[in-house]
Amino acid sequence: MGVKTDIQWSDSTINPTTGCEGCELWGPKTRVCYAGNLHETRLAKSMPLLYAADFSEVRVVAGRMTQAASWPDLRGKEREDKPWLNSYQRVIFVGDMGDFMSKDVPDDYIEHEIFGAIESRAGSRHFWLLLTKQIRRLAEFSINRGGLPDNCMAMTTVTNQHYADKRVPDLLKVECKWKGVSAEPLWDAVSLKQYLSEQEIHWVIIGGESEQRGVTPNPFELEWGRSLINECIDADVPAFVKQLGSRSFDGETPLTLRDSKGGDWSEWPEELQVREMPKLYPEVTLA
Ligand code: SF4
């Protein structure tokens, strides 16, 4: 979390909460969430007031969103390491270390702390990516407040077709101008064709799973990435391939990559070297 991040598709990350109610990546039997592992092995020990010993205990951290809103304006600034972000506002990913829509986060906190900062004068200089697996709650929340601000994108994650068919219909109900899907980590082939054709999804992130604490990561078939890219091309939706993961295969052949997460796109087949950002302009009004 911070003003700089290694995550290729954003400039910065911020976490208005710690902990998470869990998902298919984190529960009694599955412990492959990067955030959950880092939280329990390091953060809970070094900052016990902010991070509970158990990742499933959610805490709010007031003030962080305001801090992020105050970060310097990046409009017109070049990013040498992430040239695809040039011409964008500062792109801030909210919740890389937990899920701010977890059931224990009060509505009032979400409204005042999170959307208060996004809609503030300072916060409206940036673009905020709201990625949550609790997308049904975000949909209900957005309807109750009469819509989300135009300088944010509602996003959800899909790992396989089951979760795509469970979450994307709720994503489409969110009252927000911009909507995106993160298909990362992909655990199986996914088709988003029926949803992309509705022209309400503006961005698709694609990626394989990284290794966590010695747990063998799920494999990533390059064909899953190719197929999603082609669906995006057909629907004229920008796609962003983040990483091939720590265990990728091209057909039967395992790939040997120098980057342990498969995040160096110079190592990938050319057709997968796709890093497009959503077409926000000229619709987004700058503050
Ligand atoms: S919702 Fe996100 S932060 Fe929470 S367990 Fe799942 S992957 Fe981890």
Q: List residues near ligand 1 (CB under 6 A).
A: 20, 22-23, 25-26, 33, 35-36, 98-99, 133
Distance CA 179, CA 171 (A): 7
Averaged pLDDT, 105-128: 97
Q: Give start and end residues of each alpha helix (H) in the chain.
A: 34-38, 44-46, 64-69, 107-109, 116-119, 135-144, 161-173, 193-196, 222-235
pLDDT tens-digit series, residues 258-281: 999 999 999 999 999 999 999 986
pLDDT tens-digit series, residues 238-247: 999 999 999 9
Cβ atoms 26, 106 nearer than 8 A: no
Distance CA 128, CA 42 (A): 27
pLDDT tens-digit series, residues 50-109: 999 999 999 999 999 999 999 999 999 999 999 999 989 999 999 999 999 999 999 999
Q: What are phi and psi of 79, to 5 degrees?
A: -110, 110
Residue of 105, 133, 182 with the most ligand 1 atoms within 8 Å of its CB, for mutation: 133
Residue 1 is predicted with a pLDDT of: 67
Question: What strand order describes the sheet that includes 152-157?
Answer: 12-14, 90-94, 126-131, 152-157, 178-183, 203-207, 239-243
pLDDT band at 282; cut points 50, 70, 90: very low
Averaged pLDDT, 104-130: 97
CA of 187 from ligand 1 middle (Å) equals 15
pLDDT band at 283; cut points 50, 70, 90: very low
Cβ atoms 181, 201 nearer than 8 A: yes
Cα dihedral 28, 263, 15, 39 in deg (nearest 10)? 40
20 CA: nearest ligand 1 atom: 4
21 CA: nearest ligand 1 atom: 4
97 CA: nearest ligand 1 atom: 3
The answer, yes or no, to whether residue 287 has pLDDT greater than 70, is no
Bridge partners, residue 275, by sequence: 240
pLDDT band at 215; cut points 50, 70, 90: confident
SS3 of 32-90: the string is CCHHHHHHHHHHHHHCCCCCCCCCCCCEECCCHHHHHHCCCCCCCCCCCCCHHHCCCCE
Q: Which two tokens stand for residue 98?
A: 């937990």
Other C-beta atoms closer than 10 Å to the C-beta of 252 total: 5
pLDDT band at 248; cut points 50, 70, 90: very high
Cα 115 to chain centroid, rounded? 17
User: Is the model more confident about 287 or about 172?
Assistant: 172
Distance CA 214, CA 212 (A): 6
Distance CA 194, CA 191 (A): 8
Q: Which two tokens stand for residue 130?
A: 């709201």
pLDDT tens-digit series, residues 217-242: 999 999 999 999 999 999 999 999 99
- b/e map 85-109, b = 16+ CB within 10 Å: beebbbbbbbbbbbbbbbeebeeee
98 CA: nearest ligand 1 atom: 3
pLDDT band at 177; cut points 50, 70, 90: very high
Averaged pLDDT, 122-144: 98
Residue 199 is predicted with a pLDDT of: 84
CA of 283 from ligand 1 middle (Å) equals 31
- For atom 3 of ligand 1, the residue with the nearest CA is 98
